[in-house]
Amino acid sequence: MRLSPLDQDREYFLCGLASTHNSKGEFEQALPYAQRAVQEMTTFTTSNMTLIRSLVGLNRLDEARAAAQKLLEIQPTFTVSHYRVVTPLKSLAEIERNIDAFRRAGLPE
């Protein structure tokens, strides 16, 4: 898939690509998309959460913890329990995998 360099919503598509790869356990493929999405829109919390999931999936826990700290700077009230309530995801298995990654990255319960 090619993304238009002029598309004003490009970072959303990058985040979506990263999320799709994460869902399939393809963390190596997910990581560059997640990193680009965060670079292009640093305050989009979903991109930051997607980056955390990619890093934890690659067992790059120090980087995942640093990304978690950045997420908390953007959204200081973020908690794992609140994520569980507000996530739009329908797959309970996917939600649990995200929650596990967030916990491993040190995000507050």
In a domain, 109, yes or no: no
In a domain, 34, yes or no: yes
- pLDDT score, position 17: 95
Q: How many domains is the chain partitioned into structurally?
A: 1
In a domain, 65, yes or no: yes
In a domain, 50, yes or no: yes
> CATH code at 41?
1.25.40.10
Structure-block tokens of residue 49: 């959460």
| pTM of the entire predicted model | 0.91
pLDDT tens digits along 9-26: 777 889 999 999 999 999
Concatenated DSSP letters of 40-93: H-TT-HHHHHHHHHHHHHTT-HHHHHHHHHHHHHH-TT--HHHHHHH-----HH
Show Cβ contacts of residue 94 under 8 Å, excluding neighbours closer than 6 positions. 23
- pLDDT score, position 3: 54
Q: Which domain holds residue 17?
A: 10-104
pLDDT tens digits along 69-101: 999 999 999 999 999 999 998 999 999 999 999
In a domain, 2, yes or no: no
- DSSP letter assigned to residue 25: T
In a domain, 5, yes or no: no
